Chains A and B, each alone.
Chain A
Amino acid sequence: MRMDTVIMGGGLSALTCGIALAKRGQRVAIVASGQSTLLFNGGSMELLGCVDGKAVTSPLEAIAALPAEHPYSKLGADRISELASEAHSLLTDAGIVMEGKADANHWRITPIGVAKPAWLTLSSHFSIDSLGELPCKRLALMCIRGFFDQPNGMLAEGLKGLGFEVDKLEFTTDEITALRRSPSEMRANSLAKRLVSNASLQRVADEINRLAADADMVLFPSVLADEDVIQTLKSMVKKPLRLVATLPPAVSGNRMQALLRHYFRMLGGNYLMGDTVVSGTLEGDRLTSVTTAKLGDMPLRADNFVLATGSFVSKGLVADYGRVYEPILDLDVDADADREQWTRFGVLEPQAYSRYGVKTDAGLHCLKQGKPIQNLRAIGSVLSGHDAIKMGDGTGVSLLTALAAAQSILATK
């Protein structure tokens, strides 16, 4: 089967790149092995959150000072602003409504109540522009009885630490209580499937209005399936209402993924869910086709290929007892040869492995034995030289490298 471009991997970077290409009329196939880590996203995108342990105020300024091996440096610091605004509009077109600026971070609140710098946050979610100037004083933190995915105690302590007054208000309704019969299912995505009808939302709103009469703002766990449901609940609640991220898998991530996938399909893109690229055929400095587990002896041929297979969690990188490698084509990777260097004691310490990834040239072309493969570009978490956890640059790298790769593919035509 012949495509213009085949993208390996199905997460944020793959979908972004696929949409950008399909919009310009390309025939694109995305090969997605299962769901991606986008499902864990609590509703924010980060461009650059932290450098050397210090929070970044202006990502655009800080990016200019990053070392040469960082993916942003490869794109060119002068292009970041334009790529960032293109990414923002692509998300908006897909129906993902987010707010934020590339030259000034705001603060998102993690499910355990930590404030972290962010670039974009869903408009329906709680965020703070400046920690010195809180938007209000008294927060009502709505706590659903028996709910697994929100550590209320930690969240409340975190918010208090920022200077808010917090009332933890526990509540339930008949629908929610019914769900507790299967305790393992008392999760965010299960709740999202039940809290849909106007009647069930009204029962929730009645509880909020009864309990939170004194609050300036109501914080509600992000367990609402879509924008319509959110707007309905907001209209029923008397106080201003914002959502707070829950532990993953997150409803917001699930929704963002569905919207991007839908947009891609509407543009005629092929999203091959649950299939995996197992090998590829190289001819000289070009990749001519890839074989997937399910399409079997009918390989996917294309002019261009994109590697968006993610990091270790998504199996875009694999570590065995001896080495770190890229499993499809055994591409060159940036990783320490000595296994002792991979990790360091203490989960919260910076870990060397989180910067590992495939090597690329300045045009994001993958390398094999030092030579670039001319029609294979790498994007997103599989790239080396960045650290989603310690630098808060994961989603930004995914979005921006995806758009840059799409631009360079379109330019080769």
Chain B
Amino acid sequence: MADKMQICNISENNFEQCTKCSICTTVCPVAAVTTDYPGPKQAGPDGERYRLKDPAYYDKMLKLCLNCKRCEVACPSGVHIADIIQSARMKAGEGKRASLRDTMLANTDLLGMVANKVAPLANATLGLAPTKLVMHSVMAIDKHRTFPAYSRTKFETWFKRHAQSRQDAYPKHVSYFHGCYVNYNFPKLGQDLVKLMNAMGYGVHLLDKEQCCGVALIANGLYKQAKRQGRVNAASIRQTVNTDHRTVLTTSSSCTFNLRDEYPAILGIDTRDVRDNIMLATRFIYRLIDEEKVKLVFKKDYQRRIAYHTACHMQRMGWQLYSIELLRMIPGLDLQELEQECCGISGTYGFKKENYERSQAIGSVLFKHIADAQVEAVATDCETCKWQIEMSTGLPVENPISILADALDVEATRQANGL
């Protein structure tokens, strides 16, 4: 009887567990800079009580939520505050008529595909003052933003031309969910992963079909499309895990979080059966080293001072430890972990004209910490944090995988792993 009562008392998003302690309100980056947003407690568990009575209580300002999950990380009672807010937005039918701008920003792969074909032109055009002005006024994409440069060759194209044929020869294998950013903007990160895994004796393989994970679609309220793409990804992942018995590696914290946790929690795509087989490459590599299955040998002359920034979704997953501890293995690397603050970009949020100032205000705390740390570069596992921090601090921002690949003594590592 007692057991049953406990279970009956727990709702889907356990909002009734809220003790009204208000701790979440102290960490919300949006409430910190604008009074338009009611804050996590009000938008989440408190508002939910009203919305359950009558959906008319839905507050349009919930669209300002970044879905950064910082409130959930802070809540001592385990309330899924941000999930409550996202579900409420979804129920209220937000995004049914998304604007051209939101659709364009959300479709990172579509935008990438077009821009990619005309990369030099796109980079020049997206960077031109007149284009920026048109985007600012017509499309409402903020003129201060520099679009991430598009690469001329997609990662997938490079991989098929230059790497794929060699992969089967390795004794062990992994699959790689590269994500839109690696494919269209920054193939080097994918190439670095291939270099690193190959040196440890692992062949790298693409998924049968990979589509954009949809993190931007969810943020822009395009839930239907996110679900469609999510199902394709889930099927491909399931196939490689169950048939090829391969772990699926990622190099973006947001893609990882989305595939593992947002698919079931928000999109209703149950990926729990393969959840443990989807992971950031840093976690996979750390485990191999920890279990003494592989060795990494680093260059003797590598000398750098770098600060590590924990992206919001990384903090939510709780995996920054792996990236940090791997970087600390590089002998010449002086690593300082930064206080965990939101950079303010939150995917496509900061690209929108109406959010630009808020986005920069949110990030200012982090930018100050970075300036104080006196480093030559910043490491982070999220690509949109990279754009924001590079634009706002002028420092280069690199993925831990790229730093590891850069510091790696490839020949010595191959030998150490018996290749």
Task: Using CB atoms and an 8 Å cutoff, list the residues of chain A in contact with chain B.
Answer: 1-2, 29, 33-36, 39, 178-182, 184-185, 187, 189-190, 193, 248-249, 254, 258, 261-262, 265-266, 270, 272-275, 292-298, 313-315, 320-322
Contact = CB atoms under 8 A, between A and B. Distances in A.
A177 B84 CA distance: 30
A273 B287 contact: no
Contact of B339 (A1, A249, A262): A262
Contact of A270 (B6, B75, B324): B324
Interface of A is mostly: loop
B76 A313 contact: yes
A294 B324 contact: no
A213 to B, nearest CB: 32
Contacts of A187: 22, 25
29 contacts: A1-B286, A33-B76, A33-B78, A34-B76, A35-B74, A39-B23, A182-B35, A182-B37, A182-B38, A184-B25, A184-B42, A187-B22, A190-B32, A193-B32, A193-B33, A248-B21, A249-B22, A249-B23, A249-B26, A273-B74, A273-B315, A274-B74, A294-B317, A294-B319, A296-B276, A297-B276, A313-B76, A320-B6, A322-B2
B41 interface: yes
Interface in B333-376: 336-337, 339-340
A266 B38 CA distance: 34
A297 B319 CA distance: 13
Contacts of A292: 318
A181 B38 CA distance: 9
Question: Which 8 pairs show the lowest CB-CB distances between chains A and B?
Answer: A294-B318, A274-B73, A321-B2, A34-B76, A189-B26, A181-B35, A275-B318, A182-B35
Interface of B: 2, 5-6, 21-23, 25-27, 31-33, 35-39, 41-42, 46, 72-78, 276, 283, 286-287, 290, 315-319, 321, 324-325, 336-337, 339-340
Given A187-B25, A249-B25, 12 more contacts: A1-B321, A33-B78, A185-B38, A193-B32, A249-B23, A254-B26, A270-B324, A273-B340, A274-B316, A274-B318, A295-B318, A298-B283
A34 B74 contact: yes
Contacts of A295: 318-319, 321
B29 to A, nearest CB: 10
B76 to A, nearest CB: 4
A187 B41 CA distance: 13
Given A187-B22, A189-B25, A295-B318, A182 B76 contact: no
A193 B341 CA distance: 14
A116 B71 CA distance: 33
Nearest to B34: A182
B73 A184 contact: no
Contact of B325 (A1, A178, A265): A1
B121 to A, nearest CB: 43
Contacts of A266: 336
Contacts, number: 107
Contact of A1 (B21, B77, B78, B290): B290
B323 to A, nearest CB: 11
Given A34-B73, A190-B32, A313-B76, A272 B321 contact: yes
A275 B23 CA distance: 16
Nearest to B318: A294
Nearest to A265: B337
Contacts of B32: 190, 193
Given A34-B74, A34-B76, A178 B35 contact: yes
Contacts of B72: 274
A251 B290 CA distance: 40
Contacts of A185: 25, 31, 35, 38-39
B49 to A, nearest CB: 14
A39 B27 CA distance: 12
A322 B5 CA distance: 13
Given A187-B25, A270-B324, A261 B74 contact: no
B38 A29 contact: no
A179 B35 contact: yes
A296 B272 CA distance: 13
Contacts of B2: 320-322
Given A179-B35, A184-B39, A273-B73, A29 B315 contact: no
A413 to B, nearest CB: 21
B30 to A, nearest CB: 11
A210 B34 CA distance: 29
Nearest to A310: B76
Contacts of A248: 21-22
A268 to B, nearest CB: 8
B246 to A, nearest CB: 17
Which of A258, A266, A275, A315 is most buried by chain B, counting CB atoms within 10 A of its CB? A275
Given A1-B325, A273-B73, A298-B290, A39 B26 contact: yes
A313 B324 CA distance: 31
A294 B27 CA distance: 20
Contact of A315 (B31, B76, B318): B76
B23 A35 contact: yes
Nearest to A11: B76
Contacts of B31: 182, 185, 190
A375 B5 CA distance: 37
Nearest to A296: B276
B128 to A, nearest CB: 35
